[in-house]
Amino acid sequence: MGQISRNDMAGILNSGDPQVLQELLQAADKCRRENAGEKVYLRGLIEFSNYCDRNCFYCGLRKNNRRLERYRLGKDEIIKLAMLAFASGYHSICLQSGESDDPLEVDFLVEVVREIKELSREADEHALGLGITLSVGELEYRQYERLWEAGAHRYLLRIESSVPELFESIHPPSQRLEQRIECLRALKDIGYQTGTGIMIGLPGQTVEHLLRELEFFRREDIDMLGLGPYIPHHAAPLSKVKAGPLDPYLTTLKILALCRLTMPDINMVASTALQSIAPEGLRMGLKAGANIVMPVLTPEIVRDNYYLYEQKQYKGAEELAAEISSCGYVLGLWEWGDPLHYKKTNP
């Protein structure tokens, strides 16, 4: 795997020595500057609905969480937010929601994507318009294809864990790992820039599991990675299971760095969960090799109801921009910032 052996990776992941972490981050930062450059690209995140038909054991949006106030943004509101993002120089957005069984939701999203694409193309001298990432869970092949035809070109579907026993310990039996893998392959087949990822520090997750996750990312030849620490939510059953053995924050930094070193040309997100779990999460995530940040554009009036985990923190766009430049990176505005990996594999 890359130039680091499996044994070396295990040694790094098992080590509690701050010097080991320091050296790892330095190596990842060097590798990132050489291969992915010093730019950090923004994806304006619009969490357009918190309705969900699934029951993931870790997530506050799960269907059985009856206490959560549900919301769904209207088409015009989503388009307005997207166009505002475009005018401010974010040339990519990500539309995210819970997962729905209702095919009408896909019809709705197809319309939204098509209109955003048309309007932003008209407003763009290069006629490229906004880059649109979707993250709405598992759909059928034809549904992914319709969204692609409407103008979406990236998709984020975290595998959550590719290790069968771990996946099964955090999902009800109706949610199947094979199905999720099939979805990832469908997305790649259609032509999407495909992103996946996992949660780190899940109860019972071990170093051996993480080494297998790293192998999975490489095997699936992914273009983008969105991973972050697991943070419990009081209304989700996994919060009742004993934590550990891994430290979610430090292990996330190590995994980001190992991913940058072994997959130098992919795009990697410094996730909101990473920013939420520690005050220096964003900066450390960038130093570990992340080159994407997703400022939350969801309107404040509903934002708190997109309650995936406790203590979700939001940083304003200006604060994010200041932090990004203060650690020596350059904001990549007015461009899509596609993963070099995708460009190489889809010339």
If we measure between CA atoms, which residue out of 178, 153, 152, 155 comes closest to residue 167?
A: 178
**Following DSSP, what letter does each residue of 132-191 receive, concatenated?**
EEEE-----HHHHHHHHHHT--EEE---B--SHHHHHHHS-TTS-HHHHHHHHHHHHHHT
Residues numbered 188-207 forming contacts with ligand SAH, rule: CB under 6 A: 199
Helix, coil or strand: residue 200 = strand
273 binds, among ligand SAH, ligand SF4, none (CB under 5 to 8 A by kind): ligand SAH
Give which of 119, 131, 30 is closest to 80, Cα–Cα: 119
Binding ligand SAH (rule: CB under 6 A), the pick from 222, 296, 308, 324 is: 308
Rounded to the nearest 5 degrees, what angle is found at the Cα of 194, between the Cα atoms of 191 and 198? 160
230 near ligand SAH, judged by CB under 6 A = yes
Q: Which residues pair with 45 in a beta bridge?
A: 94, 296
62 binds, among ligand SF4, ligand SAH, none (CB under 5 to 8 A by kind): ligand SF4
- In the list 65, 96, 143, 298, the residue contacting ligand SAH (rule: CB under 6 A) is 96
State the nearest-atom distance from the C-beta of 60 to ligand SAH, in Å. Answer: 7
187 scored as a contact of ligand SAH (CB under 6 A): no
Residue 196 DSSP label:
E
- Report the C-alpha gap between 273 and 311 in whole angstroms: 9
Binding flag, residue 231, ligand SAH (CB under 6 A): yes
Provide the minimum distance between the beta carbon of 158 and ligand SAH in the complex, in angstroms, as a whole number: 4
Cα–Cα distance for residue pair 252/284, rounded to 1 Å: 10
115 binds ligand SAH (CB under 6 A): no
Our finding on whether 261 is near ligand SAH (CB under 6 A) is no
Q: Which stretch binds ligand SAH (CB under 6 A): 115-123, 224-232, 262-270, 327-335?
A: 224-232
Q: Which amino acid is at 104?
A: L
Residues 6+ apart with CB under 8 A from 152: 113, 132, 133, 134, 192
Q: How far apart are the first and last CA of the chain?
A: 24
- 59 interacts with ligand SAH by CB under 6 A: yes
- Give me the residue label for tokens 């904001």: 331
Distances (CA, A) of 170 to 27, 167, 241: 33, 6, 10
Between 92 and 272, whose beta carbon lies closer to ligand SAH? Answer: 272
Among 58, 167, 192, 216, binds ligand SAH (CB under 6 A): 58
Contact residues for ligand SF4, defined by CB under 6 A: 52, 54, 56, 59, 61-62, 98-99, 137
- The site partner of 135 among ligand SF4, ligand SAH, none (C-beta below 5 to 8 Å per kind) is ligand SAH
Min dist CB 329 to ligand SF4, Å, is 29
The item of ligand SF4, ligand SAH, none sharing an interface with residue 129, based on CB under 5 to 8 Å by kind, is none
Residue 196 structure tokens: 């996946």
Min dist CB 284 to ligand SF4, Å, is 24
- The verdict on 135 binding ligand SAH (CB under 6 A) reads yes
CA atoms within 13 Å, Cβ hemisphere of 73: 27
From ligand SAH, ligand SF4, none, interface partner of 180 (C-beta below 5 to 8 A by class): none
* Among candidate residues 28, 42, 25, the one with its CA nearest the CA of residue 315: 42
Nearer to ligand SAH, 151 or 228 (CB): 228
Q: Binding to ligand SAH by residue 277, rule CB under 6 A?
A: no
99 binds ligand SAH (CB under 6 A): yes
CB of 170 to ligand SAH, least distance (A): 9
Interacting residues with ligand SAH (CB under 6 A): 58-59, 96, 98-99, 135, 137, 157-158, 160, 199, 228, 230-231, 233, 273, 308-309
